Every structure is written in structure tokens, then in C-alpha cells.
Amino acid sequence: MSKPVMNIALVCGPDCDMETQAVRAALELFGARVFTYWIGRPNDLISVLSGEDLYAGTDMIVLCFHGDEGKFIMPELGEDVYEEGEPQGDFGPAEILRYAKLDGKIVIGNGCTLGDPELARAFLERGCRIYIGPDDYPDGNDALMYLLRFFYEMIQHGKSAEEAYALAVTMSKELPMYRLYKSSTLI
């Protein structure tokens, strides 16, 4: 493999494996190095968001999850399966504030309502430079196409995240529900 254009952490939540595989194949074809994380329990996501299990040099994090009411839908485990201190339930702003350490990263929450302003604010407070996500419930194909166009513009045409975002949301009438939030500390 020649030197990758960028390093991307692709994080697969419950029941999102088909989207994750499609995104990974496209990103690798575009020339990115993709590290895929399969989330089977809450501590798996915490390890990524805290940076503990994130590969050095990761430029961007894509969270392929289902979402509802501004929260990431997490796997439900049996009571005896959770590790001591492991959180139970879905991940919203409180969990992001508690566990994430995202110094300068660009993060995309690609699932329903994961562009909720309160959730985005939590990501930004934990060091994220840019956070992108839909503030409503996109069709699954639209969510996939948003990611593909976004990364196509960044990788193939050298666009900034802001420029790629602006182009990707024009692909269909559904996609303007995607919102881009920037850290005010960098403005």
C-alpha cells in the first residue's frame, strides 16, 4: 500500500455492519487507511473515544451507529455480562463528556439524530475540532451516500472538511439535515 491520504477510524455500532463494510471498501479505494472498530460492548466504544485504542495519526473518526433522540444506540448485554463500572444504556452527551478525549479530531456521527446540538456540543467540549451529523432521521442510503461524497471530495479533490460537507449536503433534499459544528476555540 502506498502512503495513505488520511487515516480514518471507522467505528461500527450494533446492526451497522453492511454500511460499515461499504464505507470501508470505498474509503480504501479512495486511498485512505481505515482502522475498523467493531463495538460489541460499551467499553469498546469508550476505548476508541478516550483515545486508548485509537491508532496514532488518526485524522478522522466515523461513528456508524443507529441513533435516536440524540443518543448512540448501544448493544444491550445481559446483566452478568457487563464489566464492573461499565455503563449501561445508550450514549448521549453525558457519556461523551465523561469518556471522550478527541483532541483536534474531526468526528462524523452517521446515524439518526446524531447531529443533535447538545450531542455536538459535548463532542466539541471534549476536544473535537469539527463534528458532523444529521439532526433528523435520514434514509440509510442517503446516510451512506453522504459519507461517500464527503470523503470523495476530501480525498479526490483535496477539499477541506467544510467544503466537502457543503458539497455532500447538496446531493439530495434529505441531506441538508446534516449539520456541521466547529469548535469555537479554533475560530
Give the predicted TM-score (pTM) of the model.
Answer: 0.95
* Percentage, residues of the chain above pLDDT 90: 93
Residue 48 domain-assigned (yes or no)? yes
Q: What is the DSSP string of 65-83?
A: --EETTEEPPPP--TTTSP
Over the stretch 38-87, which tens digit does the pLDDT of each residue have?
999 999 999 999 999 999 999 899 999 999 999 999 999 999 999 999 99
- Domain encompassing residue 21: 6-79+86-182
Position 1 in a domain: no
- Beta strands 67-68 and 71-72, pairing class: antiparallel
Average pLDDT, the chain: 95
Does residue 187 form part of some domain?
Answer: no
Read off the pLDDT of residues 101-153 as tens digits, 9 standing for 90 and up. 999 999 999 999 999 999 999 999 999 999 999 999 999 999 999 999 999 99
Report the number of distinct structural domains present in the chain.
1
Whole-angstrom distance between the N-terminal and C-terminal Cα of the chain? 36
Report yes or no: 37 and 53 within 8 Å, Cβ to Cβ.
yes
